[in-house]
Amino acid sequence: MKLNTLFEQKKIVFSFEVFPPKKTSSIQTIYDTLDALSDLNPDFISVTYGAGGNPADHSTVEIASTIKHKYHIEPLAHLTCLNSTKEHIGQVLDELRANEIENILALRGDRNPDVPPKTDYRYARDLIEELNHHGEFDIAAACYPEVHPECPDMEEDILHLKEKVDAGASHLISQLFFDNNDFYNFLYRVREAGIMVPVEAGIMPVTNRKQIERMVSLCGASLPKKFVKIMHRYGDDPAAMQDAGIAYAVEQIVDLISNGVQGIHLYTMNNPLIARRISQSVASLIRCSNRAE
Ligand code: FAD
């Protein structure tokens, strides 16, 4: 199923993100994760691709295919272009077609100082245009409630976001954020700019101090005072920090749903136990919202 149909059918879409295991781990680890995630009935599961700016990640298609054919859940395959040639993208698209994968999150990809970018694609928009030309895929794109780190201001970032939607992106997934007001302000500006496609809010449960330090340095998300207090108080106690991180994510989601957000995209960090606790805490709210009207 193409995801644009899903957004037409549901008031709130609830999705997960997983990543392929690191080279040092067995592929089986992701299958154990999917086993545990699948009975939470997400609307779709996205699979990252070469995250961190590494060269192509060959297991993305394989994992997306398992999500579709073994678990009968719709997959969204991420695909980055900055470090790719047209020829390589063509090969990945052939693999996606062969595995009947219809949904692609089209990304530029992060710059990696150790890997000089190729020249076939400069921005995600270039990949979206190409995918749209093929006509057979539903295309999603990324957006940044706190502005993409390379962009000088939100106005310009939203102009480029509009270019992605005009090129064919049918839904957007946001970068993680910890202050819902950042998301609401962003959404207001997005609609004002005439971007009307569904925007899913990206939520990352932060359950240990190391993870947050890494995330903030990677994506530049700001930390509200309330969150910093939680980290100072519980950061050295893993069980307490996990409970506090889950509670914080649930509170964010409850507020977002109550304010009519069209989708929640949960960055699961391949941790099904945390995803389960969060999903169970908000399942009735999502059911209730989808029943309304
Ligand atoms: P773009 O939309 O191309 O934007 C990149 C920058 O260029 C922005 O600052 C934008 O304002 C600017 N820009 C765009 N067009 C123009 C133009 N015409 N002129 C001047 N400037 C322009 N990375 C991975 O490697 N693998 C993944 O699987 C992955 N998944 C992600 C999932 C989500 C939901 C998100 C939010 C991010 C993900 N990323 C992933 C990270 C992403 O690749 C980086 O944030 C990357 O730096 C930007 O990608 P983009 O597609 O948003 O780029």
Let me know: does 139 contact 106? Beta carbons within 8 Å. yes
Mean pLDDT over the full length of the chain: 93
Residues 6+ apart with CB under 8 A from 88: 56
Query: CA angle at residue 31 from 61 to 240, to 5 degrees?
Result: 120
Distance 38 CA to ligand 1 centre (A): 28
- Residue 164 CB burial class (10 angstroms; 0-12, 13-18, ≥19): buried
Greatest mean pLDDT among 51-65, 177-191, 229-243 lies in 177-191
- Residue 181 CB burial class (10 angstroms; 0-12, 13-18, ≥19): exposed
Least confident window among 18-32, 57-71, 141-155, 212-226: 212-226
- pLDDT score, position 26: 81
Q: Is 54 in the pocket of ligand 1 (CB under 6 A)?
A: no
Residue 102: pLDDT band (50, 70, 90) is: very high
Domain count, the chain: 1
Residue 228: pLDDT over 80: yes
Taking residues 97-126, what's their average pLDDT? 94
Distance 280 CA to ligand 1 centre (A): 31
Model confidence pTM above 0.85: yes
Q: Is 197 in the pocket of ligand 1 (CB under 6 A)?
A: no
pLDDT digits (tens, 9 = 90+) for 205-221: 998 888 887 777 778 78
- pLDDT score, position 216: 77
Taking residues 112-136, what's their average pLDDT? 94
Q: What is the C-alpha to C-alpha distance for residues 253 and 265, in angstroms, rounded to an integer?
A: 10
- pLDDT score, position 181: 97
Taking residues 260-282, what's their average pLDDT? 97
Residue 172: pLDDT over 90: yes
Question: Residue 130 sits in which domain range?
Answer: 3-292
Taking residues 250-262, what's their average pLDDT? 97
Distance 222 CA to ligand 1 centre (A): 18
CATH of the domain at 167: 3.20.20.220
